[in-house]
Structure 1
């Protein structure tokens, strides 16, 4: 048999199969690459936006005085290559060569004061600071203090310490307890680039730390810089010295595929440092990288679960549609192959010819889709190579298997449209077992929830597949029975079209199973994707409102003057303004200092309007709502502006826009002794920059900005965009499946309609007959797929934590917007009706003599 001639003879079917195969291979090979690229981008963004102190690897040495001291810059620099040599292989590509070192002291009091000045040293101070007053520190000297001689260090202090601590150039401070050294301030510096991520390691140098005490004056801590010359003297004369070697991490080189290896490498590096410790110095690793990677892996695990589910469903549906196309191709070849078989061709020659033709059609198309997938960004994963191979093997394997079964004997003639086939007891038992296992698995998943691991949970992936297969089996087995009841009802009527159409639809033919197995997962997965996407979007919006608490929130570090509030009220675009006061209170009986909010709840509700957040209710001017950490206090007294006596009205979990955990309380604004306000809750259309101009001491935060920040996360964008692509692709595949099911059953349907036309069937009745034959299966499958898609999020809810994509709030409410699911299901039904009408219109043009064989007419 000439294979190219066969392909040319069935050009239309071959072209359709080529398109289906190319698109399937493009999606199967391209979407995983795009997903992995977004996973990598999310990890890199997480590593590059986090403070450097969390991501960098900081080797910390704590010497046992005085034997463990490292005297001089050279000794410190000599250890840096040693630490880099201990790095495991997974960490070496991520660590930049340029790091820095520091030597710092802590808890060094200034004699005669409550303040602390901790002398320290930075290896790259010349690069990171500018001296704005005085000069750089020089060599140390000595000074007499009582009957002792103390080392005297020349130091520089940050400009912030000049105002907060009253320091000035020329001052000499004696430090230590007991007294160990003296400091002479010779210069004042400030950071060249305060936004440099490296400052997160040395925040104590860049800023003064203020310690607030309840029963004592505030204390200040700052770190003063010494020179290289003073380093050797520093390490031998000041207690509590710590050495640090910072190995900066380059987050741009990280890959999500290596997260587990990186996490294990950090643990191994920490173990190696502990081994390097001696009796004089202990070395340890200080980094927040494991926690950051753990949070990322939790988010990544949820994303992978959803992606595997929807992509697995897409692959299954694509394979089903391709199998339908292969079936159509083999049906068109049936007569030629049957003739070859009757003329002495062996079974394997006939099956091989059909398989070769299938390879000729789908092979180049698969290669084309595979090649186009390399235009998409992302690493080449194993599935990129495996997916197209699975498509080709499935198509060719189905073609060969079907031809082997169909042409086991020459001149096969059979009719499966007369009586319904009865499944065997073994088949029924297997179907029941699949349904029971699927339901039991769904129950266990609901009962146990997530496996609690960042690794992929196989149980979470298998249960949706089992539920889909079970629903498809139930649909295939059960949908004829209600139709047979309708057939009995229509048999009593005088109209023949309803009886004939429903009778043909109710017959359990083998050709009906494949469209169900395609349409049901296509609908269920697409509806599932739409529901998940809607749930994430709704929770993102809720999270943004919970974080801000109003359309616009203006917060000041000090009380906002009344004239500034009036300017805001009169600004163009401002509709409503609610005043609030936030601050720290002190409970008189216990001394606890919870945060407090005083606000007019009625005005706040007007500002919120129809926002998806609920505000509590306060009944009286002295009532208060307390957090669970405070509990029910009955009647108690607080100190806030002035003594206030409050009565506990209830307990609340959070205050939108203000407090979500810890100790806090909410009081009515009328309880304040005077109308102070440092926060404005605003409703209206006004630019944040304009509000910042009206109140210069305030920061402005809007709900729209927070929502945009949540949605801008790479993982969140990937999940939602992939769900959208899969929903559209599955809808398209479902439509193609309906069209192919029409075409596959066309010969028998056209022959039956043509025969009935000889008996007086009109064109209108022919269209109704075709619609009644096809529509029940599509409607039943659409309803089952819709119900399964709506139920899958609830079934998987405990096992899939989507809070990482919704601003930290759990996505538990999967109440769907029914528009998308109903449009999908209704669209398929409408397309089935239109297809039936089009199919009837095409069949009407055929000559009855070309359709009916001799003997078909009565």
Structure 2
């Protein structure tokens, strides 16, 4: 079948399908390459929102799992109405009635809140503890013990029977005088309760006490979970203190009744209430919409859901929950990390969009002659755009759908709408670029053979206005980022686009300046005898004006890669400093009591990998003998060893002579507030072993032995009494944790810097955001290489034809290879050096506005002394992508030159070839 493009008349209306099929058969490689590019880009675009939702959901689940049960449990309570008859009050507390209401509560919980049935509980309890008057119960200074009486459901599932049997209830009502109960092992041990013991609780009126006979002693299963820990006294007795000027302790325990015995609580002097404690299932919140989750929590605490629960359960129902505060803290972390992540996402998205546009633009330029012929034979712009759109849509749409599906399969659990929108955007850009570019190229007539190179550009007013607008946007974005920063809590797209805009403006500037060095270099080359240098510069200068698009892609990609690498480097550096700040050295051995055993420092020094051991004695009760009551820690050290440690750990170094005593008071180094309290002269301080005089010889804000707080450092040899150290700071990057633990006493705490650093990166939100930035840096470098390959592939046919013509004039194969390699060298060097320079400039320009503290330190406020965590220019992230661009460009040019020179000249010099 003859291609419609080869016939003189316009194709018929029914020839659209043959056109698409014929074009795809003619250039299957181009179609497959475009489909692969769209597949990867669609996958990355669709995976980004799902990855963000994944680490946000995992972070929320982690926060729920590690939070105190009082924060992650929804507590509901309802006391019987005071004007209800006794029978109705008793019915409201019976076990079957509480179970019925529990099910109603579960049915009315708004999504995505779901209760964890394994840890949720309900029952009846006394609102305040009831005093017991049995003489055999142990009494402390504060008086007789008190008991919380509870009939919590599920005791048989959440405890193991250690002795006796579980309590039973027969026909129980408000007037019942005797019931059975159980206590936990620790309650029995503290209050001397045994199986068969009877605890008597006073009742209202003239009735006798309520006798609770203990029939069983139970051991709580998983006491750290919410069933037992929402009200800890149910499992472990506690000491309460009397009020008054001299508080005294007394015991507070719990008696566990069966649910059917709950009506007996109505006779006690303290009010009884029904309660339901719903442990929220953290797994159900992992993929929840944060806005919907906040709305659900607010609805339960003080909104429509609470009203519905009151109608179904009781008008007296009260709701308490710490979920609101927990969600607020989680959202605060996300609000700080989100803008930082948006900077990387915007950079990669911009690079991907530029590469997609570049691929379509290069395809339009490659087929310019073909499309010009169609226009000359009567094809309209609309018809031409429709054919090209249909041709491109065939490989693009299935590839975009496959990338979207791959993102959904590999990252399950997220919302589908953002993924679909992101992949659809990729499909639209990839499909529309070629038709739109073709329409722009062929909407007017251009003279045949018109020069469109970089040496003689023709700048229109519209282009100048567009470039000035981009420059103004870049300046505004940089100023906004430096002033407002990324810690405002909201994602600002102008601020997030700052690195990309800086790269775009730099690309425009380099394109403007590019012809000048070429002209200057061409002048001396023209006077030399060899033709290769002059030809290579002339060819570089005659590169088409569309070189700006590949250069833009390269610069934006290299800037994004450098920016992402600097974020990762800044995060890693902050975590290293924070871990060293917390431990004080590579490892720390801390005494559990007053001091470490004698000779321990020498034994630790013999452990493999230990370079030096610095002994420190810490006295937490240093008396400054003034009116202030702030706690000051005395650090008694060996001056030489501690001075070396301070210098090695990055703290303000000092000379060992500043602490060594010659005569007079003991020299000391103090924190700023302690130095202000002691003054410039001699002062007296006191420790339990005696008092001594000190004189401040230096002021340091931090020191290795103290993560925070006020301190005073002195020479241990100058103290009134020589005592063993309480802390050993161990230096040695390769120190072994197990060996160090084996050398230390069992009672001592061993803390490793590596473990502390790993804990800083263990939070799901920080870990997920760090992975996204690593992917962003890698994707930026990958798109840079792809943009380079597209640019070189575009010029390959024209270079092959030129080389064939020059070879007919006597150019050797070796000279031809050198020509092609040198021709690419100016643009490649410009892109590589410009990318590294622009990346460095963007980091230096924007780093004051980006604080990586939350991303690096998992939101732990105990590292405030480190100050803001800024970007740090990483040489590897700056140089490796740039060197890769130069190396790949040289390799591809050499391969093209080798393949071209291996062909026969007549293959390229065909009759009528327009190249």
Q: TM-score range by the shorter chain?
A: 0.7 to 0.9
Equivalent residue runs for 1:597-616 within 5 Å: 598-600=635-637, 602=639, 603=641, 610-611=648-649
Counterpart in 2 of 1:435?
471
Q: In 2, are the aligned partners of 1:102 and 1:244 still within 8 Å (CA)?
A: yes
- Match for residue 893 of structure 2 among 820, 828, 836: 836
1:249: how far off? 0.9
1:553: how far off? 2.9
- Match for residue 268 of structure 1 among 299, 303, 322: 299
Equivalent residue runs for 1:306-345 within 5 Å: 306-345=340-379
Cα pair distance change 1:658/1:471, threshold 3 Å: same
**Is residue 14 of structure 1 aligned with residue 34 of structure 2?**
no
Q: In 2, are the aligned partners of 1:131 and 1:190 still within 8 Å (CA)?
A: yes
1:471: how far off? 2.6
SS at match of 1:700: strand
1:263 and 1:669 mapped to 2: Cα distance? 56
1:236-293 Cα offsets, whole Å, 9 max, x none, are 6556988754211110111354223222332332225998999x99875543323332
Q: How many residues align?
A: 839
1:692: how far off? 6.4
**Larger displacement relative to structure 2 (418-427 or 127-136):** 127-136
Counterpart in 2 of 1:25?
42
SS at match of 2:410: coil
**Is residue 99 of structure 1 aligned with residue 121 of structure 2?**
yes
Counterpart in 1 of 2:16?
none
1:719: how far off? 2.6
Counterpart in 2 of 1:142?
none
1:637: how far off? 6.7
1:416 and 1:30 mapped to 2: Cα distance? 43
SS at match of 2:222: coil
1:605: how far off? 6.1
SS at match of 1:421: coil
SS at match of 2:76: strand
Counterpart in 2 of 1:201?
230
1:442: how far off? 1.1
Unaligned runs of 5+ in 1: 140-150
2:770 and 2:298 mapped to 1: Cα distance? 34
1:109 and 1:262 mapped to 2: Cα distance? 42
**Is residue 39 of structure 1 aligned with residue 85 of structure 2?**
no
- Match for residue 536 of structure 2 among 487, 491, 501: 501
Counterpart in 1 of 2:9?
none
2:446 and 2:517 mapped to 1: Cα distance? 37
Q: In 2, are the aligned partners of 1:523 and 1:789 still within 8 Å (CA)?
A: yes
2:270 and 2:615 mapped to 1: Cα distance? 51
2:211 and 2:707 mapped to 1: Cα distance? 43
Counterpart in 2 of 1:55?
72
SS at match of 1:712: coil
Counterpart in 2 of 1:296?
330
SS at match of 1:120: strand
**Is residue 557 of structure 1 aligned with residue 614 of structure 2?**
no
SS at match of 1:815: coil
Counterpart in 2 of 1:421?
457
**Larger displacement relative to structure 2 (791-800 or 166-175):** 166-175
1:56: how far off? 1.4
SS at match of 1:721: helix
Counterpart in 2 of 1:806?
857
Counterpart in 2 of 1:147?
none
1:825: how far off? 0.5
1:409 and 1:250 mapped to 2: Cα distance? 65
- Match for residue 836 of structure 2 among 774, 782, 786: 786
**Larger displacement relative to structure 2 (24-33 or 53-62):** 53-62
**Larger displacement relative to structure 2 (801-810 or 23-32):** 801-810
1:651 and 1:185 mapped to 2: Cα distance? 66
**Is residue 698 of structure 1 aligned with residue 727 of structure 2?**
no
1:735: how far off? 1.9
1:520: how far off? 1.2
Counterpart in 2 of 1:733?
783
Q: TM-score, normalised by structure 2?
A: 0.78
1:800: how far off? 5.0
1:383 and 1:545 mapped to 2: Cα distance? 41
SS at match of 1:223: strand
1:678-716 Cα offsets, whole Å, 9 max, x none, are 444345634448726852323333222222233333333
Equivalent residue runs for 1:107-146 within 5 Å: 113-114=141-142, 117-122=145-150, 123-124=152-153, 127-128=157-158
Equivalent residue runs for 1:293-692 within 5 Å: 293-378=327-412, 379-408=414-443, 413-417=448-452, 420-450=456-486, 452-453=488-489, 455-491=490-526, 495-506=530-541, 509-560=544-595, 562=597, 565=600, 569=604, 572-573=607-608, 575=610, 576-582=612-618, 584-585=620-621, 587=623, 589-590=626-627, 592=629, 594=631, 596=633, 598-600=635-637, 602=639, 603=641, 610-611=648-649, 619=659, 621=666, 623=668, 625-626=670-671, 632-634=677-679, 640-644=687-691, 647=694, 649=696, 659-660=707-708, 669-670=716-717, 671=719, 673-683=721-731, 685-688=735-738, 691=741
SS at match of 1:523: helix
Counterpart in 1 of 2:21?
4
- Match for residue 258 of structure 1 among 282, 289, 295: 289
1:204 and 1:509 mapped to 2: Cα distance? 80
Cα pair distance change 1:137/1:585, threshold 3 Å: farther
Cα pair distance change 1:444/1:158, threshold 3 Å: same
**Is residue 716 of structure 1 aligned with residue 766 of structure 2?**
yes
2:211 and 2:715 mapped to 1: Cα distance? 52
**Larger displacement relative to structure 2 (664-673 or 741-750):** 664-673
